[in-house]
Amino acid sequence: MLRYVLVLFLLLAVAESVALYWLATRIGLLATIGLLLAAGILGSVLFRWQGRVALDRLERELGPDSRPADTLLDGVLILTAAVLLILPGILTDVAAFALLVPPVRAGVKVLLRRGVARHFQGRVHAMTWTNGPAARDRIIDVKVTETQSSDVPAAISAEDKLRD
């Protein structure tokens, strides 16, 4: 798993370098740097605004019978956008800005829910297969005998004779 994450970060760095080079050749180096700075400033403003909106909604929804999963997922996606804005590059900034737009975030939440449901559906099916009716229908024979505490050594020795 760590290998895949390392490869993903390496590919992201290469893709960001190519995108920055392409942009710098089209609009110039200073304009590219200015665009990156402007994206960082605009992203931090959007992050604060959307984060405040999500926290306010979470405070309203918290209660004894509430299930604020949707709001918490919004918060996780906004936090992901903030991390993407910290990373230098055009591609991560575009992904971060997309996550800060509520309709786009709603679409990402739908995709995440489907993926999680598909993942756990397979797990639930596997659990019902091993713990299903066949596992519960086993019959165990038990022989119960009542003895006095003074009869316990005699009962144990009688049981040992039966085994031999």
Token pair, residue 18, equals 């190519």
Question: In angstroms, rounded to a whole number, what is the distance separating the alpha carbons of residues 82 and 87?
Answer: 9
Question: In angstroms, rounded to a whole number, what is the distance separating the alpha carbons of residues 49 and 74?
Answer: 13
Residues with Cβ within 8 Å of residue 32, at least 6 apart in sequence: 20, 23, 24
Task: Report whether pLDDT(161) > 60.
Answer: no
Contact 16, 88 (CB under 8 A): yes
pLDDT, tens digit (0-9, with 9 covering 90-100), for 2-14: 888 899 889 988 9
pTM exceeds 0.75:
no
pLDDT of res. 107? 93
Between 127 and 45, residue with greater pLDDT: 45
Per the listing, tokens 């038990």 go with 142
pLDDT, tens digit (0-9, with 9 covering 90-100), for 19-63: 999 999 999 999 988 988 888 888 778 778 877 888 888 788 777
Token pair, residue 159, equals 């049981």
Task: Report whether pLDDT(89) > 80.
Answer: yes
